[in-house]
């Protein structure tokens, strides 16, 4: 959640930052109005409380002078009722402002490039040269069918569209990739953690998926429980409503989970193959950081995800997201896009974000900074989306006859 104290102190600066991220001016005006209502409610309460304090101080004077205190007591009792009403109004105004603020995205960092969508993202660098084929490379769904690795039709039979079944080497490679990624991340200092694939509403509000993205989530019938869209949700919320010691920071974690998304906002996109599935596997990086260290850890996370692709010998590039393509909770994001020769383009395989205090404020994750409690910074990123990595291996390591070579670093995990 955005800093409401900062909003009250400097509304114009906050609103300018939010406009860069595409927040509607009408919504900002409503936010400003509710902020002013809360200010007025606080002032009314403080005025009544000051009057109460002043009248209370007159009691000893009245007694000393031998005056009747009945009238003064009546005024105090009447004012006490007004204070109770004013306090309730202040609470209601606070709730109204916080409720609206929950739908407001994080402010982008000042150095995030302006732009409307992914076409305005800025390439930072390319890693590894794409292979030059002496034949026309096939797309992964054609290779999957030819090799018997992935069955899309049986996925539909078992569930619905955008589900698939991995067979044989396809299933083994998927498992090998998960183990390889977890081992790699552990070698870079990220502790492995295993978390539930079902979370409650509070957890999803903490990381920003709710209330805005409820239509994209799978919800349990008659329960306030949801299938996770990413391991970022349960891993970050491990420390929900906790005050950590400063010497506990940073907490760097990695987790493998299945993830579930309705892809409600992606109708008609990537309908073939494994690029955009309703259920997919992902290895995630999450960090709970001291504010002074979050940029350093962000760079570590980007490098870790990139180095996995390098170890797999998969060409990729790093992209700085513009304001229009930045996620709801992100202050800034670097995407990693892997080269897919069958599609002749780079496609996102990882998205690493620093949310600054945004998630920590919502989830109430703090640390003891001297005598005061301070919000941590939270960071998250894919390392990597397993299905998309499998797609990249298939397309980049294919041979003219449709067979697929196995990356050297995965062979020990396959017993080859």
H/E element holding 378? strand 377-385
- The residue from 142, 242, 293, 348 that is catalytic is 348
276 is catalytic: yes
- The residue from 188, 201, 276, 317 that is catalytic is 276
Q: Are 333 and 380 in contact (CB under 8 A)?
A: no
351 is in an annotated binding site: yes
357 is in an annotated binding site: no
351 is catalytic: yes
224 is in an annotated binding site: no
Q: Can you say whether the dihedral through the CA atoms of 138, 314, 176, 412 is positive or negative?
A: positive
- The residue from 294, 351, 353, 383 that is catalytic is 351
Q: Are 286 and 255 in contact (CB under 8 A)?
A: yes
67 is catalytic: no
96 is in an annotated binding site: no
99 is catalytic: no
Half-sphere exposure of 5 (CA within 13 A, CB side): 1
263 is in an annotated binding site: yes
What the block records as the tokens of 275 is 């690029």
Q: Which residue has the tokens 């309460």?
A: 45
400 is in an annotated binding site: no
Distance CA 89, CA 46 (A): 12
CA-nearest of 357, 364, 356, 308 to 336 is: 308
56 is in an annotated binding site: no
What the block records as the tokens of 271 is 């309908």
284 is in an annotated binding site: yes
289 is in an annotated binding site: no
- The residue from 139, 356, 388, 395 that is catalytic is 388
88 is in an annotated binding site: no
70: Cα separation from own chain's centroid? 60
DSSP class of 270: S
161 is catalytic: no
- The residue from 261, 361, 362, 366 that is catalytic is 261
Q: What is the DSSP string of 33-66?
A: HHHHHHHHHHHHHHHHHHHHHHHHTHHHHHHHHT
230 is in an annotated binding site: yes
Per the annotation, binding residues for L-serine are 230-232, 261, 284, 380, 382
Per the annotation, binding residues are 230-232, 261-263, 284, 348-351, 380, 382
Q: Which residues are catalytic?
A: 261, 276, 348, 351, 388
């Amino acid at each position: 959640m955005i800093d409401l104290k900062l909003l009250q102190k400097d509304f114009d600066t906050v609103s300018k930052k939010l406009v860069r991220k595409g927040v509607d001016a009408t919504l900002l005006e409503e936010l400003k109005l509710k902020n002013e209502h809360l200010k007025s409610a606080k002032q009314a309460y403080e005025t009544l409380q000051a009057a109460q304090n002043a009248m209370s101080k007159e009691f000893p004077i009245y007694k000393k002078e031998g005056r009747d205190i009945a009238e003064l007591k009546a005024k105090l009792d009447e004012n006490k009722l007004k204070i109770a009403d004013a306090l309730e109004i202040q609470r209601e105004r606070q709730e109204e402002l916080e409720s609206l603020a929950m739908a407001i995205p994080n402010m982008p960092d000042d150095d995030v490039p302006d732009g409307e969508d992914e076409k305005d993202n800025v390439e930072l660098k390319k890693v590894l040269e794409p292979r030059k084929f002496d034949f026309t490379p096939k797309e992964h769904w054609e290779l999957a069918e030819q090799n018997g690795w992935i069955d899309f039709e049986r996925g539909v039979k078992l569930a619905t569209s955008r589900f698939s079944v991995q067979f044989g080497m396809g299933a083994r490679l998927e498992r090998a990739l998960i183990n390889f990624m977890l081992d790699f991340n552990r070698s870079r200092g990220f502790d492995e953690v295993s978390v539930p694939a079902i979370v409650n509403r509070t957890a999803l509000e903490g990381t920003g998926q709710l209330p805005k993205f409820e239509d994209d989530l799978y919800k349990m019938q008659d329960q306030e429980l949801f299938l996770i869209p990413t391991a970022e949700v349960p891993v970050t919320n491990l420390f929900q409503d906790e005050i950590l010691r400063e010497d506990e920071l940073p907490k760097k974690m990695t987790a493998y989970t299945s993830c579930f998304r309705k892809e409600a906002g992606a109708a008609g996109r990537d309908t073939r193959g494994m690029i955009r599935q309703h259920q997919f596997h992902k290895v995630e990086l999450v960090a709970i950081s001291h504010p002074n260290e979050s940029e350093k850890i962000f760079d570590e996370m980007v490098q870790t995800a990139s180095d996995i692709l390098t170890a797999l010998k998969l060409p990729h590039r790093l992209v700085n997201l513009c304001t229009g393509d930045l996620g709801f909770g992100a202050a800034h994001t670097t995407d990693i896009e892997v080269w897919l020769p069958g599609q002749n383009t780079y496609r996102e395989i990882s998205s690493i974000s620093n949310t600054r205090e945004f998630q920590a404020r919502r989830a109430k994750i703090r640390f003891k900074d001297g005598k005061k409690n301070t919000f941590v910074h939270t960071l998250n990123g894919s390392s990597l989306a397993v299905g998309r990595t499998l797609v990249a291996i298939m397309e980049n390591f294919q041979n003219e006859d449709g067979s697929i070579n196995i990356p050297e670093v995965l062979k020990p995990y396959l017993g080859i």
